[in-house]
């Protein structure tokens, strides 16, 4: 009976009556749509989902999801979600955050979330700009970026989010893009099934303040050339006619032309290999530079062997409770030494 009801859930059931207030054409719409598409397939009742966000355009997300939700404060969704997951491990907890929210103001909580590895899902909307505050550069904006706060161009070096996550020992690291619904759904689905913190970086176009930031990866004319779609167990192939591949020369990746080389010599993508994931994370060159590596999309890395924090945390409590199944408040309060006054 319950299963049947759940099966009846559709994307519509996950939409709220609140008017969606992103700018027309914003990449956030697509992400909302894909999440609303994937959730009904997961076989869980709505009330078990919780979306927690920080502050930013992206962080408005929970208002549009007919689940439990919290639109919290800038950068702190990760910490709030950790507290919720520790106390209610049976819930499916999702964190929605922006590039500024997660990596500037929330940077500390972000790396510690990844280090601890509670079983939550992070959707990182990376538009390489501060959208909500109307267009300042962000910690992922490329050097030289001209924005309202950097009229002479930004001199900051950007973060490489995927490398940052791997460096913080994240156990599921993936990248996708707003303009590829199928890929996005696929990655979101995979991230849900990962036990531990899963982080999905989503390239999201802010068509008002940073339009076209990811055009080269998302648009038909350049996508095949500029991106590398990683599939576990498959050779790393890209290019207009799938005519290029990546080969490993020791630890050094090289681009080969498949007209000259065989597919059999190519690097086979292995999601469980941290060293290789680290190399792939460094495919982060400026796409306009000649001879650059394609930008990888898909799952970089998954580690299934790191027990989630919420599990360890609650196991320890269960252990203490098993040692002392009915602790007495009276004896706790009395302590070890008492005396009588008569």
Ligand X SMILES: Cc1ncc(C[n+]2csc(CCOP(=O)(O)OP(=O)(O)O)c2C)c(N)n1
Long-range contacts of 111-116 (CB under 8 A, 24+ apart): 111/164, 111/168, 112/78, 113/78, 113/79, 113/81, 113/82, 113/197, 114/165, 114/168, 114/169, 114/170, 114/171, 114/197, 114/199, 115/168, 115/169, 116/82, 116/197, 116/309
Which 3-state string (H, E, C) describes 85-97? Answer: HHHCCCCEEEEEE
The site string for another protein over 281-320 (x = CB under 8 A, - otherwise) reads: --------------------------------x--xx--x
Q: Which residue has the tokens 């290999």?
A: 273
Instruction: Please state the closest distance from residue 130 (CB atom) to ligand SF4, in A.
Output: 9
The site string for ligand SF4 over 108-137 (x = CB under 6 A, - otherwise) reads: -------------------x---x------
Instruction: Please state the closest distance from residue 75 (CB atom) to another protein, in A.
Output: 8
Show contacts with ligand SF4 in window 305-324 (CB under 6 A).
Answer: none
Applying CB under 8 A, among 9, 32, 35, 79 the residue interacting with another protein is 79
Which CB, 289 or 329, lies closer to another protein?
329
Binds 98: which of Mg ion, ligand SF4, another protein, none (CB < 5-8 Å by kind) = Mg ion
Residues 6+ apart with CB under 8 A from 171: 114, 117, 194, 196, 197, 198, 301, 302, 303, 304, 306
Applying CB under 8 A, among 31, 57, 80, 170 the residue interacting with another protein is 80
Which CB, 288 or 324, lies closer to another protein?
324
Asked if 334 is part of the footprint of another protein (rule: CB under 8 A), the reply reads: yes
Applying CB under 8 A, among 7, 10, 25, 112 the residue interacting with another protein is 112
Applying CB under 6 A, among 20, 42, 163, 208 the residue interacting with ligand SF4 is 208
- Residue 173, helix vs strand vs coil: strand
The site string for Mg ion over 170-209 (x = CB under 5 A, - otherwise) reads: ----------------------------------------
Asked if 91 is part of the footprint of another protein (rule: CB under 8 A), the reply reads: yes
Long-range contacts of 149-152 (CB under 8 A, 24+ apart): none
Binds 91: which of ligand X, another protein, ligand SF4, none (CB < 5-8 Å by kind) = another protein
Which of 173, 196, 188, 145 shows the shortest CA–CA distance to 305?
A: 196
Which CB, 98 or 296, lies closer to Mg ion?
98
Contact of 40 with 13, CB cutoff 8 Å:
yes
Which of 32, 34, 43, 36 shows the shortest CA–CA distance to 5?
A: 43
Tokens matching residue 186: 């696929």
What does the binding site for Mg ion look like in residue numbers (CB under 5 A)? 98-99, 127
């Amino acid at each position: 009976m319950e299963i049947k009801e759940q099966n009846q859930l559709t994307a519509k059931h996950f939409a709220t009556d609140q008017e969606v207030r992103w700018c027309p054409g914003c990449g956030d719409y697509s992400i909302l749509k894909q999440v609303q598409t994937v959730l009904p397939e997961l076989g869980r009742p709505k009330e078990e989902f919780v979306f927690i966000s920080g502050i930013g355009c992206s962080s408005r997300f929970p208002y549009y999801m007919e689940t439990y939700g919290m639109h919290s404060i800038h950068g702190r969704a990760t910490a709030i979600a950790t507290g919720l997951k520790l106390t209610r491990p049976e819930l499916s907890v999702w964190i929605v955050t922006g590039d500024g929210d997660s990596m500037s103001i929330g940077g500390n909580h972000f790396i510690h979330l990844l280090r601890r590895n509670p079983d939550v899902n992070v959707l990182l909307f990376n538009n390489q700009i501060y959208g909500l505050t109307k267009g300042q550069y962000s910690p992922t904006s490329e050097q030289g970026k001209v924005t309202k706060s950097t009229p002479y161009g930004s001199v900051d070096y950007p973060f490489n989010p995927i490398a940052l996550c791997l460096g913080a020992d994240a156990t599921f690291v993936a990248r996708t893009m707003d303009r590829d619904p199928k890929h996005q759904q696929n990655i979101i689905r995979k991230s849900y099934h990962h036990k531990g913190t899963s982080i999905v970086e989503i390239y999201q176009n802010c068509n008002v303040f940073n339009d076209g930031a990811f055009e080269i990866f998302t648009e038909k004319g350049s996508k095949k050339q500029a991106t590398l779609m990683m599939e576990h167990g498959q050779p790393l192939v890209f290019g207009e006619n799938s005519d290029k591949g990546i080969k490993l020369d020791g630890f050094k990746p090289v681009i080969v032309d498949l007209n000259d080389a065989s597919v059999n010599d190519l690097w086979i993508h292995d999601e469980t290999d941290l060293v290789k994931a680290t190399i792939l994370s460094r495919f982060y060159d400026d796409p306009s530079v000649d001879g650059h590596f394609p930008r990888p999309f898909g799952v970089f890395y998954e580690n299934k062997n790191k027990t989630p924090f919420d599990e360890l945390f609650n196991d320890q409590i269960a252990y203490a409770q098993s040692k002392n199944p009915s602790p007495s408040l009276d004896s706790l309060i009395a302590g070890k030494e008492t005396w009588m006054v008569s």
